[in-house]
Structure 1
Amino acid sequence: MRTHVQGQHELGQNFLVSREIIDAFVAAVAATSGPIVEIGPGGGALTVPLARLGRPLTAVEIDPRLAGALRRRVPSARVVTGDFLRHRLPDVPHVLAGNLPFHLTTALLRRILRAPDWTAAVLLVQWEVARRRAGVGGASMMTAQWWPWFEFALLRRVPARAFRPAPAVDGGLLTLRRRDRPLVPSRAEYRAFVHAIFTGRGRGVAEIAVRAGLPRRDVARWAREQRVPAGALPKDLDARQWAALFRVAP
């Protein structure tokens, strides 16, 4: 399926034109359940097949000309003209989906992670952002701060040629799932803890943790039980290792 609507550079509009990627995206959404909120539907390359899933679908599009065309093209969807960063999301369980403008990826992810009620998200983002969020090659501080509440998974790389116009970098198909039970109870304290460890001084996470005030004996036991190699850096820890380290903190 191709869209012939030209994207606007200032809005970061790079539309999907690859049937393979569209099918993979829709398959990932089909594996979820509940109403769908699509972020930035553009010309409707994803909206049309998403509508075929037969689930309630709301599409939030910032460009009025595209929103108008999409209402005519997909009458079964509710198309809202507006900025997703300011859009009020449903207060019932729902699924988020979208090909995110690359230049707004971080802002949109922060909005998504702070939003309540959604259960899963299928997002097409910049390749390096997708890798960092999924912890491939090492997790970012942002990922570590949100891991106790969400699971991140990288499904595949999306070449720049899958878009029109083609962006300067590849994309990545990323999924997020809200955990049924958070791994730690306190969000504010945990996020501050992760920040302190990521920005602390030391030759490895164990030394950083001790310098941050954690008991040396307890940190050593944590490293043994969690099988954390000597010299491991904060980016090398997984979600459960982070949660276990947080429980060591006095």
Structure 2
Amino acid sequence: MRTHDDGRHELGQNFLTDPAAIRAVVDLVARTGGPIVEIGPGGGALTLPLEGLGRPVTAVEVDGRRVRELRDRVGPGTSVVHADFLRFRLPAAPHVLVGNLPFHRTTAVLRRVVHAGHWTDAVLLVQWEVARRRAGVGGATMMTAQWWPWYDFAVHRRVPASAFRPRPGVDGGLMTATRRPRPLVPEPRRREYQAFVHRVFTGPGRGLRQVVRAAYPAARTSAWARRHGVTDRTLPRDLGAAQWVELFDLVR
């Protein structure tokens, strides 16, 4: 039988083996409430400790061999489903997402997560730089800026490559996404807001002010720029969630 530290290269499996990192994930999940959906449980390194929280767990695993092995090890409150998370139908009720994501599928899984409804919290282990950029540390990505009005992203700790088997080429990062109870932008305006962020991130210009002037010449943004210290060197990645929302209100 395979052990939880024996990953399959073709599935991008780098299984978490460090007890401290596993405890950190479980501790973050313990701060949430509701049923748990685990993304890619592998051999159960997180699944079995998560059972200790006394909440229903649904573990979604694409590797059929792992599914069969894990079903023999979990308790009655855990369901192990053989499916690709990208195609799995999530519950239509509040739940929490947890997962040590395959590094080569991180972007695809994150896109699936942010587009999904009903989940309240997501506790995810991704590449360290992805975790930082999602949380806006050192500059946010366009994807983060597009979803900030609906989710709060945070990075919690760096997880060394030595915590995984097989060992990946980069460190991991433990991050969370929390659905805002009151979005900063009304849901009916989501597409409009996200198109605005895309236009600013991809528009011509050497800095944010030039981009905004070119894209929205009639917008009065000088006072906003002074208030937030926006200069010709400021880039779209330098803005925070509240600054994006305020700028959107000004230009729309």
Superposed pair shares fold, TM > 0.5: yes
Provide the rounded CA distance (Å) in 2 between the counterparts of 1:229 and 1:34: 45
Quote how far apart the aligned CAs of 1:184 are: 1.3
Residue aligning to 1:157: 158
* Contact kept in structure 1, 2:4 and 2:15, CA below 8 Å: no
Provide the rounded CA distance (Å) in 2 between the counterparts of 1:103 and 1:32: 27
Provide the rounded CA distance (Å) in 1 between the counterparts of 2:70 and 2:118: 26
Q: Which secondary structure does the structure 2 equivalent of 1:73 belong to?
A: coil
Residue aligning to 1:199: 202
Residue aligning to 2:102: 101
**1:1-42 residue CA offsets vs partner (Å, 9 max, x unmatched):** xx4552100001111110010000100111111110000000
Q: Does 1:12 align with 2:6?
A: no
Q: Does 1:47 align with 2:50?
A: no
**1:41-93 residue CA offsets vs partner (Å, 9 max, x unmatched):** 00000001101000111000111111111111112311101100000000000
- Over the matched positions of the two proteins, sequence identity in percent amounts to 63
Unaligned 5+ runs, structure 1: none
* Residue identity opposite 1:128 in structure 2: E
* Residue identity opposite 2:91 in structure 1: P
Residue aligning to 2:67: 67
Q: How many residues align?
A: 248
TM-score scaled by structure 2? 0.95
RMSD: 1.5
Q: 1:21 to 1:34 in 2, by over 3 A?
A: same
Provide the rounded CA distance (Å) in 2 between the counterparts of 1:85 and 1:93: 19
Quote how far apart the aligned CAs of 1:209 are: 0.8
Provide the rounded CA distance (Å) in 1 between the counterparts of 2:193 and 2:217: 14
Give structure 1 regions of 4+ aligned residues with deviation exceeding 3 angstroms: 225-230
Q: 1:206 to 1:4 in 2, by over 3 A?
A: closer
Unaligned 5+ runs, structure 2: none
Residue aligning to 2:21: 21
TM-score scaled by structure 1? 0.95
Q: Which secondary structure does the structure 1 equivalent of 2:178 belong to?
A: strand
**How do 1:34-183 and structure 2 match up within 5 A?**
34-76=34-76, 77-183=78-184
Quote how far apart the aligned CAs of 1:97 are: 0.2
